[in-house]
Amino acid sequence: MENPGEKARRFGTAPVFFTAITTILGAILFLRFGYATGMLGFWGVMLIILVGHMVTIPTALALSEIATNQKVEGGGVYFIISRSFGLNTGATIGIALYLSQAISVAFYLIAFAEAFEPFFNFVYNQYGLVLPRQTISIPAFLVLTAVILRRGTNLGLKVLYFVAAALFISLLLFFTGEPGNPVEPGMTNFTFRNPNEFFFVFAIIFPAFTGMAAGVGLSGDLRNPARSIPLGTISATLIGMAVYIFVTWKLAVSASPADLVDDQLIMGRIAILGPLLIPLGLAASTLSSALGSVMIAPRTLQALGADRSFPGRKMNYILARGRTETNEPYNATLLTCIIAFFFVAVGNVNMVAQIISMFFMVTYGSLCLISFLNHFGSDPSYRPSFKSRWYLSLAGFLISLWLMLMISTPYTIVAFVIMGVIYSWISRHHKDRKGLEAIFQSTFFQLARKIQIYLQKSEKKKDTSWRPSVVCISKNTFNRSKPFELITWISHRYGFATYIHLIEGYFSRATYRQSAEELEQLIKLSEIEESNVYVDTLISPSYTSAIAQVIQLPSISGMETNMALFEYEQGHTGELCQIIDNYALVKAGNLDVCIYACSQKIMNFRQGIHIWIKPTDSENANLMILISYIILGHPRWRKSYIKIFSLCKEEEKQRTLDHIIRLIEEGRLPISSKNIEIITIKEDVNPKMIINERSENAGLTMIGFRSEMVKQYGKKLFEGYERIGDVIFVNANKYKDIK
């Protein structure tokens, strides 16, 4: 048994084509092409047609491509955008699209009133009355509203066929008409003039081109949208473009520039029976365009309501509710007519045309961007039967954005501000829905893949400057936060970091479930810390096997991992011994090693980072300085400083001081000479005592160590610093040049 939703799908390709073509060959063609030709000349209008179709043709192709990749439901363009960009972003653009469609109803009815210019002239000549155009547009609007609300879409589509016939006859009589005031060859109609007025005229003309998407709004009523939308849309666009070119040529050879600018019904003076048929054609085209808009706009609004795009549940229900088995959007039509009535009352064609242009540019640019991102993202589920080209879609998006700015920068800013407010409003009420990441995710995957492959291939051309690509592995993530904070500081601006949470055990369904849950907690922790760290979990039977696995993995930056960070809590000898036991394994990978001894003391950032350089730290010193500088780039360390202590023999004090000062000056490091202290080594004094005394209140202390000392002293090497709080022990794999 056929359900009501299927009964609603009763139209073929013809309604798409005729809805589009009667909107394309509408009010602007009859009212403003003569003005445009008079202002800019034939070649100026050709440039408008060319530039305008550099937006609409890529959009038509993109629209056709997307429509053949997915089942297009009610809402037309809105449905396509919302299912590509996500419901929140789609609703934002959909509301802008709906408003432009609703305002278009008013635009076409205002233009409809212009067809009665002979009537207005007659009243003025006979009775001296200057009647406002609203005398015609408002009653016409009320009649149109009553017809649509009462009879629905079926009647509207039947009227379209008669309108298309009237348009064809009017244009045929126009092309076969004799010029009333012919322009001789070489006259100014065939020169490009008034270039400074180009974008003003473009803004007035562009709404004519927007008609190509009109038929897409019937998507919910089509038997086969994947066939009807491409065929109807592309054919209407190309035929409309051809008609524009021939109409402009006919106008250019048929009237003087002054007549073209001053007489908005100049086509009537050229066509056979023009004074009768051209106003009739104008009336028919504008009325049909208004009819098309008043059919399409409510369907966009109905689809928005069905997707619960608005905050109020009752509001969504009312707007989504249809009437009869064909699901006619009665309530949405009523609201559309109320909005349109306001702009009909305003009655300014040019102002309304600019508003429409802005919102349509946003919509068309979005469609082109969706097509481009789908091409670039290479999503295997994107398999349209009709294919555009990625460069056409990208060009359509960029030209749309450029034209918006050129037409009116203030209008562009206002349009984006309005859309930003709408997006914030919708997102606040629908936090569970995906935003822009819905379509950008595949693009980011592809971009990341290409960058990583590029970096790997260019490994032989390494820049000699050093930056950390650090990995930290810990099973104590949720017991102490300092190691994760440290790796966050390192990766905030200058470095790359990967944090691995270790789950000791064998891989099983239970441990896999545990890893997924703890990864989710890690991601939340990363968001709270506003961290740039890549986080993951690892299931491994032992600490040693986990280290062996982790140090072999490349960094997500595309760089090889060059530093390993271990952590333990001061006083926990077992944790320290585990690190020492695996130290040789890490050094086999030629990595720099940092061992972070966390304390229970609260870190005082304003007390600075203390660096202790011993005579044995010829390779470690520069690495400690670089790490300190990188950490200092994090906002939490903004008001902190670096202080360097150097232990040396008495006879080497001046040479050591000069070396450090020269290093700081040549490296342009933010370390004051006042924060350099040279301390003489005394045989009877343990260096650990000096460090404990001088760095007791330091925010963070860095101490170098050599690999052979780990073998010789073991855990004693790292013990004895209980007074000074957090310590990072640093071992450089090789000397780091500070440039």
DSSP state of 182: P
Predicted pLDDT at 640: 93
pLDDT band for 6, please (50, 70, 90 cuts): very low
User: 462-731 is classed in which CATH architecture?
Assistant: 3-Layer(aba) Sandwich (3.40)
Q: Which residue in the block uniquely carries the two structure tokens 């949470």?
A: 501
Q: Who has greater pLDDT, 574 or 82?
A: 574
d(CA 466, CA 563): 11
Cβ neighbours for 1, distance < 8 A, ≥ 6 positions apart: none
Domains 4-437 and 462-731 share a fold: no
What is the residue extent of each domain of the chain? Answer: 4-437, 462-731
CA distance 165 to 214: 18
Residue pair 232/16 in contact by the 8 Å Cβ criterion: yes
pLDDT at site 421: 85
Mean pLDDT of 694-720: 92
* pLDDT number for residue 458: 63
Beta strands 592-598 and 676-680: pairing type?
A: unpaired
Highest mean pLDDT among 160-164, 255-259, 432-436: 255-259
Highest mean pLDDT among 68-77, 102-111, 227-236: 227-236
Which residue(s) pair with 66 in the sheet? none
To the nearest whole percent, how much of the chain has pLDDT over 70? Answer: 86
Kindly provide the b/e burial profile for residues 621-659, where b requires at least 16 CB atoms within 10 angstroms of the residue's own CB. Answer: bbbbbbbbbbbbebeebeebbbbbbbbbeeeeeeebbee
| pLDDT confidence tier of residue 1, bands split at 50, 70 and 90 | very low
Give residue for tokens 């908005």: 264
Tell me which of 317-326, 414-423, 659-668 is least confident.
317-326
Q: Which runs of E-coded beta strand occur in 505-551?
A: 534-540
Q: Which CATH number fits domain 4-437: 3.40.50.150, 3.30.70.260, 1.20.1740.10, 1.10.1270.20?
A: 1.20.1740.10
Are 689 and 720 in contact by the 8 Å Cβ rule? The answer is no
What CA–CA distance (Å, rounded) separates 475 from 487?
Answer: 15
pLDDT tens sequence across 279-292 = 777 777 777 777 77
Would the pLDDT of 714 be above 50? yes
Rounded distance between C-alpha atoms, residue 55 and residue 456, angstroms = 39
Residue 734 contacts residue 707 (beta carbons within 8 Å): no
Report yes or no on whether pTM surpasses 0.85. no
Residues 8-33: tens digit of each pLDDT: 446 778 878 887 887 788 778 887 88
- Check: CB of residue 311 under 8 Å from CB of residue 425: yes
Strand 469-474 to 727-731 pairing: unpaired
CA distance 298 to 302: 6
The alpha-carbon radius of gyration of the chain (Å, integer) is: 36
Residues in the chain: 739
Cβ burial of 70 (10 Å; 0-12, 13-18, 19+) is middle
What is the DSSP code (8-state) at residue 379? -
Look-up of token digits 């009877």: 684
Instruction: Please give the Cα distance from 241 to 246 (Å, whole number).
Output: 9
> What digits encode the pLDDT tens for the residues 207-234?
778 777 666 666 666 777 777 888 888 8
297, 156 Cβ separation under 8 angstroms: no
**Angle of helix 87-114 versus helix 349-377 axis, rounded to 10:** 150
The closest alpha carbon to 580, from 702, 478, 728, 712, belongs to 712
CB atoms within 10 A of CB 215: 29
Over residues 628-657, the mean pLDDT reads 91
Spatial separation of the C-alpha atoms in residues 38 and 613, rounded to whole Å: 81
Torsion, Cα of 161, 164, 169, 172 (10° steps):
-140
DSSP conformational letter for 255: S
CA distance 538 to 233: 53
* 730 phi/psi in degrees, rounded to 5: -120, 130
Q: How confident is the model at residue 471 (pLDDT cuts 50, 70, 90)?
A: very high
**pLDDT beyond 60 at 579:** yes
Pair 113, 136: CB distance under 8 Å = yes
pLDDT, tens digit (0-9, with 9 covering 90-100), for 163-187: 778 888 888 888 888 765 555 544 5
Containing H/E element for 473? strand 469-474
Q: What digits encode the pLDDT tens for the residues 501-559? A: 999 999 999 999 999 999 999 998 888 888 889 899 999 999 999 999 888 877 666 67
In this predicted structure, the answer to whether residue 667 has a pLDDT above a threshold of 90 is: no
Tokens of 611: 């660096």
Per DSSP, which regions of 542-599 are E strands?
563-569, 592-598
Count CB neighbours of 445 within 10 A: 13
* pLDDT, tens digit (0-9, with 9 covering 90-100), for 360-392: 788 888 888 888 887 776 666 677 777 888 889
Q: Is the pLDDT of residue 257 over 80?
A: yes
3 pLDDT band, cuts 50/70/90, is very low
